[in-house]
Structure 1
Amino acid sequence: MPTTTTLRAGVRLLAAIGSGLLVSSAFPGQDIWWLAPVGVGLLSAAVFGARWRLALLLGLAHGLAFFLPTLSWTGVYVGNLPWVALATLEALYLAVMCALTSVVQQAFLTSRLRPLAYAAVPLAWVLQEWARGTTPFGGFPWARLAFSQADSPLAPFARFGGAPGLTFAVATLGVLLHLVARELTHHVGRPRRTQAAAYRPLAVGLTLLALAPLGLAVATAPPTDGRKVSVLFVQGNVPKAGLDFNAQRRKVLDNHVQGTLAAVATGHPAPSLVVWPENSSDIDPFQNPDAAADIRLAVETAKAPVLVGAVLNGPDPYVSNASLFYRPGDPTPQRYIKQHPVPFAEYIPYRDFFRNFSSKVDLVTRDFTKGDRAGGFEVPVAGERPYWIIPTICFEVAYDGLMRDSTLQPGRDASILAVQTNNATFGYTAESDQQFAISRIRAIEHGRSVVHVSTVGVSGFINPDGTYVDKTTLFTAAARYGSPVVRTEVTVSDRLGPTPEYAAGLAFVALLALGLCLGRRTAKVGRAADGPPAPAQPRRDPVVV
């Protein structure tokens, strides 16, 4: 017969798995944003009071239940091994998070500082996302709690705390749900006075902490004012989905050229800018005169600059993922080189070693080089001040520091952001919508309009408050005119930079140090209580008067 301890561990494990599935359902695919705090609350309940070894297992179970479905698109064409390996790696960060949280909580459970046991959860969640977003090989900051909240009333808080602050708010709300459920069930049948006394200080404090971001966000809706400019994006589509989407590279380029010519032929007033997606020209226009001539035809016909996503040969032995900025009358385009190539997709670290696990590594025949500076191109507007278009290529949109540094380049404050991406390698999965949701959070965080353009979809114009227009569907050809606003605001989030993560780190370390001190003090008291007994007192007979 299983022991009571084993049964309780089993219940905790089931709760951890369920919590992972709930958090996964908050992301595009299911897109039920409010399940994120519910899932965090359930995980908090599963880990609360558990020893660190059990907490480690619970975090791993939660992480696998979370990342396996959320990142399933990573294996759609390359098989299960890379998908499961990535999901497991990401889950390990959650396992460590839960183990460290357990260590902190154990120190406070029998202390008058018990409320601090709950505060460890949102702090640890911010640190966990920072860790897996920076390590290894530059990290993979996908599927952060913040990125599930594009349709949430909490989303405007990204203007103040950025993605880390928004994650903290979601996790705190989840802990509040755990606390309310725990206190209500723990005190059932007890006198009302005892229940209220135990519940009030914890509930009131965490309620205020969780609802403060929501109140701030509601009271200060993101501004959407600014000068409107005309922009055309072209989603040219590809001949087929999959890893060999560019097997007909000429056709992909032709699709974007023809899409631009057809959009201009409708008689719409000339746009100030045309934006093509990543991989819209996988033929190097610097080495192929035909490709250069076709792009030039689109530029001169549109009578506007065209931002082209291109793959360039070099510097040898590498290739470059680039944004090229073509202007009418100027034969030489400006360029931005992607600063954060994706490991195992655009370059293979330790190729010989990883070839032992999968031959798919050799699908990347040449590694992509790494750009060394942020990009930005000045767009002239007839009769008006110019503005800047700030390019970001594909997964770069998920990296906080890169997006912040690009937005805040000196002298380029009047700007809109362009996210150029190619989702053909992920088929008809939720990856495209997940990336679009990240761009929506970035728009709020930086107070900028975003032109999000994919080779195959989804694409759309995103307003500075995270709302969007003209969103396209997958694997269709589309061209849309829009009027995004140019803004110069520097948000509170931009001014704070990485401070929220530093603050979370310092606070968690302080909690850990305080917990260790309390643990040593408790141990000393315990040893004193278990010491030798006091000498027996002599017996005294009662005095008879």
Structure 2
Amino acid sequence: MTVTANSVDRSGRLQPSASSSRGRRLLRLVPAVPAALCGVLLYASFPPRPLWWLALPAFAGFGWVLRGRSWKAALGLGYLFGLGFLLPLLVWTGVEVGPGPWLALVAVEAVFVALVGVGVAAVSRLPVWPLWAAALWVAGEAVRARVPFSGFPWGKVAFGQAGGVFLPLAAVGGTPVLGFGVVLCGFGLYEAVRLVLERRRGGELRRGAAVAALLSVAVPLVGAVAARALVSDKAEAGTATVAVIQGNVPRAGLEFNAQRQAVLDYHVRETLKLAADVKAGKVARPDFVLWPENSSDVDPFEDPGAATVIDRAATAVGVPISVGGVVERDGKLYNEQILWDPRKGPTQTYDKRQIQPFGEYLPLRSLIGAINKNWTGMIRQDFSRGTEPGVFDMDGTRVGLATCYEAAFDWAVRDTVTHGAEMISVPSNNATFDRSEMTYQQLAMSRIRAVEHSRAVTVPVTSGVSAIIMPDGTVTQKTGMFVPAYLVQRIPLRTSETPATRMGILPEMLLVAVAAGGLGWAVAAGVRGRRRAGADEVSGD
């Protein structure tokens, strides 16, 4: 009989065989699979799927794979969770330019998730650990929303909850509180299950830990139910009848920019159709009309022909139009919304402030050009940033403007409301991303903003999906994709501010402080533990 036993070294200690060492290494890789799958589960909770509740088992599983891990293991597992989540979520970023930018973006963003994983593993040994862990997740999102290149908030947990029971929490403290509630509930769910299984195996039920686990699940749910009182569709400043125009584009993809005149003509044509239907009594006369971002990439201040056709549309419908244009002024390029009055012409403008890196400007241009000169040709001239919040006075209604990418940034939407907006519009251009999930993800963001600030939100998009959203987050009308269409509806105008609007960044700052406190406690506890272990070893010798 052949025995493959462990060997004994010179000091007499038993050494594991090569096969048993390999087995242990393989065993350590086992959590990698569920870590990645939990990330995929979180992705599946995002639109266009109505599976918001999948975020709970996603974070329950994430807590399971991280609890008690070393920092090195947690870093790897966190990165795999981030890849599982972000790779499918952001695949639209490579629709027209290939997989390179998509993979690079995901590789960078997953690093933030990996660092959060290290923090969660560290605090998982503390009492009430779901609290510290959920705060750490929010802290990670706060960092991602700010760096690098002014941040990339896409993929905030809150943006997957537009159809969920936790949605009213957005009115309490914005996306940080909504995201915190979801993640806390997920981690608390795992902790409750873990304690039950531990008890069944004959372990002692720790009452304090059990109460903390139950509260981690119950408090977000009860808080969401209580917060429904903050969500209202009641008109506070009368109503307005709005029209949203989706003109469509000649064809999807980057090349449509070469057909700027055609895009403008399409939006004029759909507005003229609206005017004809109003005259025929088929639809109500709107108080104003909202066009999407890039609906006139032909600069109407420089091109008399563009100004003429826009003026024709405004005159026909007889009300002001908010036009999305690309404007050059003093040698600088702006992504601009222009308020076009049927009698006075252009009267107000709003320049987009949060411009998109690698989409509207090229960071590190000289470095990128040194690597490959062709890459800099994708964006020959950078857009410049606006400096003032956009609030148009449209026939007596104060309309806040957050252009496309800006809807992902808390501050860019909030300050339109603090500057008097009675409703919000998010003019967008998603044609570049074809029929990907991007437009549905962005629509969900607008639904969150509606509840966060208790304002009706319109989403005019060049190629879809355009929509009208009530202050409670309900989508009352929407278009298909790549079809010309208009939407007309009376919406409530509101002036009151939710706690989220009033407090602004404060809830996020408090949660970051909680995360820092938990992490500090975990580090201090680890240092004390190592010192005690060292002292015991010395005394044992």
TM-score, scaled to structure 1: 0.91
Conserved in 2, the CA contact under 8 Å of 1:261 and 1:298?
yes
Sort the Cα spacing of 1:179 and 1:358 in 2 relative to 1 into closer, same or farther, 3 A.
farther
Conserved in 2, the CA contact under 8 Å of 1:311 and 1:320?
yes
Give the deviation of 1:224 after TM superposition. 0.3
Structure 1: 5+ residue runs without aligned partners?
381-385, 535-545
CA–CA distance in 1 between the matches of 2:502 and 2:230? 18
1:126 partner amino acid: V
Hey, what does 1:251 align to over in structure 2?
262
What are the Cα deviations for residues 294-346 of structure 1, in whole angstroms up to 9, with x where unaligned? Answer: 10111111110000000012331x31100000112113331000001100000
1:148 and 2:167 are equivalent in the alignment: no
Aligned equivalent of 1:127, options 139, 144, 152:
139
CA–CA distance in 2 between the matches of 1:128 and 1:521? 27
Sort the Cα spacing of 1:134 and 1:532 in 2 relative to 1 into closer, same or farther, 3 A.
closer
Hey, what does 1:487 align to over in structure 2?
494
CA–CA distance in 2 between the matches of 1:422 and 1:402? 17
What are the Cα deviations for residues 459-485 of structure 1, in whole angstroms up to 9, with x where unaligned? Answer: 011000000122111100001111111
CA–CA distance in 1 between the matches of 2:223 and 2:48? 26
Hey, what does 2:354 align to over in structure 1?
340
Which runs of structure 2 are paired with 1:414-493 in the superposition (5 Å)?
415-493=422-500
CA–CA distance in 2 between the matches of 1:362 and 1:228? 47
Identity level (%)? 34
What are the Cα deviations for residues 429-464 of structure 1, in whole angstroms up to 9, with x where unaligned? Answer: 000010000000000001100111100000011000
Hey, what does 1:540 align to over in structure 2?
none
Moved more, 260-269 or 494-503: 260-269
Aligned equivalent of 2:394, options 379, 388, 391:
379
1:300 and 2:312 are equivalent in the alignment: no
CA–CA distance in 2 between the matches of 1:244 and 1:129? 34
Q: How much is the aligned-residue C-alpha RMSD, in angstroms?
A: 1.8
Sort the Cα spacing of 1:183 and 1:6 in 2 relative to 1 into closer, same or farther, 3 A.
farther
Secondary structure of the structure 2 residue equivalent to 1:336:
strand
Conserved in 2, the CA contact under 8 Å of 1:461 and 1:471?
yes
Give the deviation of 1:523 after TM superposition. 3.2
Give the deviation of 1:196 after TM superposition. 6.5
CA–CA distance in 1 between the matches of 2:378 and 2:113? 31
Conserved in 2, the CA contact under 8 Å of 1:281 and 1:309?
yes
Hey, what does 1:59 align to over in structure 2?
78
Conserved in 2, the CA contact under 8 Å of 1:176 and 1:210?
no
CA–CA distance in 1 between the matches of 2:426 and 2:144? 22
Moved more, 282-291 or 241-250: 241-250
Secondary structure of the structure 2 residue equivalent to 1:465:
coil
Conserved in 2, the CA contact under 8 Å of 1:270 and 1:304?
no
CA–CA distance in 1 between the matches of 2:241 and 2:215? 48
Hey, what does 1:234 align to over in structure 2?
245
2:437 partner amino acid: A
CA–CA distance in 2 between the matches of 1:57 and 1:357? 32
Sort the Cα spacing of 1:187 and 1:7 in 2 relative to 1 into closer, same or farther, 3 A.
farther
TM-score, scaled to structure 2: 0.92
Moved more, 261-270 or 425-434: 261-270
Conserved in 1, the CA contact under 8 Å of 2:166 and 2:221?
no
Conserved in 1, the CA contact under 8 Å of 2:128 and 2:213?
no
Conserved in 2, the CA contact under 8 Å of 1:448 and 1:487?
yes
Conserved in 1, the CA contact under 8 Å of 2:166 and 2:220?
no
1:420 partner amino acid: P
2:66 partner amino acid: V
Hey, what does 1:383 align to over in structure 2?
none
CA–CA distance in 1 between the matches of 2:482 and 2:255? 15
**Aligned pairs, how many?**
515
Give the deviation of 1:521 after TM superposition. 2.8
Hey, what does 1:95 align to over in structure 2?
114
CA–CA distance in 2 between the matches of 1:151 and 1:361? 40
Secondary structure of the structure 2 residue equivalent to 1:187:
helix
1:325 partner amino acid: L
Structure 2: 5+ residue runs without aligned partners?
1-18
